[in-house]
Amino acid sequence: MSIEQLFDSSLALLQDLIRIPSLSREEDKTATCIDHFLQQAGIETRREGNNIWAFNRLHDREKPTVLLNSHHDTVKPNAGYTKDPFSPEISNGKLYGLGSNDAGGCLVSLMAAFRHFYEDEQLPFNICLAATAEEEISGRQGIESILRYLGHLDYGIIGEPTEMKMAVAEKGLMVLDCVAKGKSGHAARDVGVNAIYEALGDIDWFRSYQFDKVSEYLGPIKMSVTQVKAGYQHNVVPDKCEFVVDVRTTDAFTNEEVLEIVRDAVTSVVEARSTRLRPSFMPAESPIRKAADQLGIEAFGSPTTSDQAIIPIPTIKMGPGRSERSHTPDEFIFVEEIRSGIEGYITLIHTLKQFF
């Protein structure tokens, strides 16, 4: 198919997807739409829950595999919309609609690139396309739930709006629940141990601590105390102070290493809600980075979390659209950005051939 044919069919598919509500955990109808679209293009698909995936026709288990992944779930439309979020209106070169920018344009562009290479007999690697669910909530029934079916994966290209620049690193996330212990007593007497005062030292440590390694693309790890709860009555010294810390990790440390450093430094009891949202980094010597360098694609570090965090292989994040438009009222993507996305992905994958 020509670029123009791929573009026309991709634009029509994105309009169809916008018409179908696909909130996280409610993506069954968009999954069906994507599945039917690929099957009508002569592509054999598999489905698990609301996740659809496929391999290039000449898939060879002896070859390395590159994953192309983006999501088809959306957040809820916010109250600021002036347009129907489920009406794919095109006006002044912009396609409006919920999920148009995040990440519908990326998804249909990746699907177009996959279709372009589907029959390619000269590919030195396999391509696995995965259109997945629950990305917006980092849910366990999205990409994470089908990794076991995809076999060995070597590298990944994750479709998110980056203006076709390449996010070679992405911050991870840990949420820490911390409890400082004290001893109850009457506030009028010099008795008890005030848990709030016990917590203050730890809170100050989180505010001021600097890790000894800094990521080249993501900078320092950022820790922010975001919630504090203590006491139940004005005249009782509290025996417990609970606080929550938002930790944005980088590729300089694993989440587990950060958690160990925190526990060694503070007196509060610290529990991580999860360590699964990991920071990611694509090494400069990897084939994808080499291809990007040859093409002059700008590399940067992304502060926002995506499915990169739960895919346990080196990945980059790249796609048409702008991150700043995501989750905003009257979300849109420029129609020409979709064409550029298709062309950009195809050029990257074509250039990637020479580095395998």
**pLDDT tens profile 175-184:** 999 999 999 9
Q: Give mean pLDDT, residues 50-73.
A: 96
3 state SS of 249: strand
- DSSP codes, 118-164: TT-TT-SSEEEEEEES-GGGT-TTSHHHHHHHH----EEEE---STT
pLDDT at 1 over 90: no
| C-alpha–C-alpha distance, residues 330 and 84, integer Å | 8
pLDDT at 314 over 90: yes
- Percent share of the chain, pLDDT over 90: 97
**pLDDT tens profile 80-112:** 999 999 999 999 999 999 999 999 999 999 999
CA distances from 282 to 39, 69, 113, 217, 300 (A): 32, 16, 21, 11, 11
**pLDDT tens profile 147-176:** 999 999 999 999 999 999 999 999 999 999
pLDDT at 224: 98
Nearest alpha-carbon partner for 174 in 206, 134, 215, 197: 206
